[in-house]
Structure 1
């Protein structure tokens, strides 16, 4: 099993959480806990817009049932 650096893994997880909160915002299911958590996560240095965008793409691909490299003709 290939191991990733702990720092990169930590920021990827935080970016995925942030992406989930953004998707909840689009659906209109946001609560006060989500707002508080989002405020804390956007202050993190390693949580960048690029990572959040990648995480949103990752979550949307999983929601549709396709993996990113699958051919869906």
Structure 2
């Protein structure tokens, strides 16, 4: 499932994928894969992502009611 919330949060900080990757210590390709929904990051990486953006795990990695319906 695409992670458009993450992409929007990075855009809100005016960060490119590379800027964000540098911030959390991964490659730009990893950030791209997370945004596209092609990669499930480790819990530690999820925490780094959330801390760098001032958000919670729920904000990016917990499906809201619309997303849950797609999973069923």
TM-score strictly above 0.5: no
Q: Which structure would you say has the larger RCO, counting Cα contacts within 8 Å and 6 or more residues apart? A: 1
Which bracket does the TM-score occupy, shorter chain normalised?
under 0.3
Q: What is the TM-score with the length of structure 1 in the denominator?
A: 0.25
Greater C-alpha Rg: 1
Q: What is the TM-score with the length of structure 2 in the denominator?
A: 0.25
